[in-house]
Structure 1
């Protein structure tokens, strides 16, 4: 479990779901190609850290939910992946 975690400071674009065990964010891009590029970067990183998002894609949008299923709650891996996803989104949009 993540102790002493300040969602608004560390990952301000993410929200805690009603259960308090997941963080969620919707990413919006210019088009499907950008969304897919973002998902590809995220998938490669998720494989590296062996931590995978629950997500869906609809044209230019990617909905993401992060939790650590084995712990049943948020962990540092979720925060790490959320920060990386934020960086990948910026990278793709600036592209």
Structure 2
């Protein structure tokens, strides 16, 4: 009698490597107007000190959200620099 295959996938054979952070790469962003997507080159850094290059693909809503968030960060930085310079 044969045993049916297990519905549970086998456990991974290697330990997962966790992401430390993602940083923009020093390359130009590409925008595809037909797909309405921006492709932002980024470097993914892992906790084991390795890294890989990839693209962060953003649709219109995601691009607007990221633009707003970066604007907030830039404004906070400007305010802190102005405060530090005013002392």
**TM norm structure 1:** 0.29
**Larger relative contact order (Cα-Cα within 8 Å, sequence gap ≥ 6):** 1
**TM norm structure 2:** 0.31
Report the structure, 1 or 2, having the larger helix content: 1
Report the structure, 1 or 2, having the larger strand content: 2
